[in-house]
Amino acid sequence: MRTTIISIILTISIGLWVNPQKAVAKGNASYHEFYTELSPYGTWIAVPNHGYVWKPDVAPGFTPYATNGYWAYTEEGWTWVSNYPWGWAPFHYGRWYTDATYGPLWIPGSEWGPGWVDWRNTDGYYVWAPMGITFGNNYYVPYNRWVFVDGHDFGKRNNKKYYYVNSSYNGMVFHYSKAIKNYRKGKSYNSWYNGGPKKYEVEKYHGKKIHPYTIIESDKHGQNFTHNQMHMYKSQIEKSNNSKPDLSNGNKQHNANSSSQKQKSPAVQNSSHATKPKQSGQPNKNQQPKAGNSNSSKGGKK
């Protein structure tokens, strides 16, 4: 009897134990978590109008939502699965933009999403790019920021067949492409996002059924797969105006004059989006589509 009681106590104790380095209390997260957890993997830069933005320590050619990761289908739409240890934050919160001096930079945001990107499709290809800082038609993504992949390869884990729009053919994708407007409202949060391609369309390319993962909220960073479940960190983040990176922790502050894309500069996702967003405006040019050069040294690289 005593042995049985001890076994039960040990079982309960083990079940309650979590890794203290990775676990975070649910519903009690703030920007300080971003500043602390991302500092070992990059540099926080003070940028006018944006506050502190983050530059990851990555190899040249890094492209958000293309390098070192893949799209997996979940009940909340296509969800970006990053192989970076820091991928739990910049690909599911906030916005990416490209600065002429620093390259890809991430602006923290408070709302979780499966992937903050705009989607298009054209002639057997799926196309995507990081969503603009604001919704609406005053922002557009430069042509060379878009990534596209053959529908037969979309969603594969070891995909190295991402392509980039060649600047010589600025209108090749957009003249013949259509915006995917699969807007959804978060199940546990009050924000709109684009869920990406319809499941049945991708199934036609793959020639088989796609079984969606159910996202289970986790108090640990990163993601973990068990059967048909994807355990991910997806807490709501509270922004504190007094919060900033800890510069005494080896993290250097750079004061930069932002030379980013044509963007507005309000706070990013600090309030819920109660209305459905508009698709980012894209200029069209009458050019025949022509495949750009593949660049396996960039997107999809493991």
Locate the domains of the chain by residue range. Answer: 23-255
Residue (of 71, 53, 63, 68) closest to 109 by Cα position: 53
Total Cβ atoms within 10 A of residue 5 = 9
R_g (Cα) of the chain, nearest Å: 20
List per-block mean pLDDT (blocks of 10 residues) for the chain, which spans 302 residues.
39 31 51 93 91 95 93 95 96 93 93 94 89 64 80 82 58 78 80 92 95 92 88 83 64 50 35 40 37 37 38
Q: Which pair of tokens denotes residue 204?
A: 């036609």
112-to-19, 193, 202 alpha-carbon distances in Å: 22, 10, 24
Q: Give dist(CA 122, CA 193) in Å, integer.
A: 21
207-to-197, 203, 262 alpha-carbon distances in Å: 16, 6, 41
Determine the pLDDT at residue 63: 92
Q: Give dist(CA 133, CA 125) in Å, integer.
A: 25
Residue (of 266, 271, 208) closest to 239 by Cα position: 271
Residue 278 is classified by DSSP as P
SS3 per residue for 129-186: EECCCCCCCCCCCCHHHCEEEECCCCCCCCCCCCEECCHHHCCCCCCCCEECCCEEEC
Where does 22-158 show beta strands of DSSP type E? 29-30, 42-47, 51-56, 69-74, 77-82, 95-99, 103-107, 117-122, 125-130, 147-150
Determine the pLDDT at residue 165: 57
Determine the pLDDT at residue 260: 43
Asked if residues 27 and 258 have their Cβ atoms less than 8 Å apart, the reply is no
The structure's pTM equals: 0.74
Determine the pLDDT at residue 292: 38
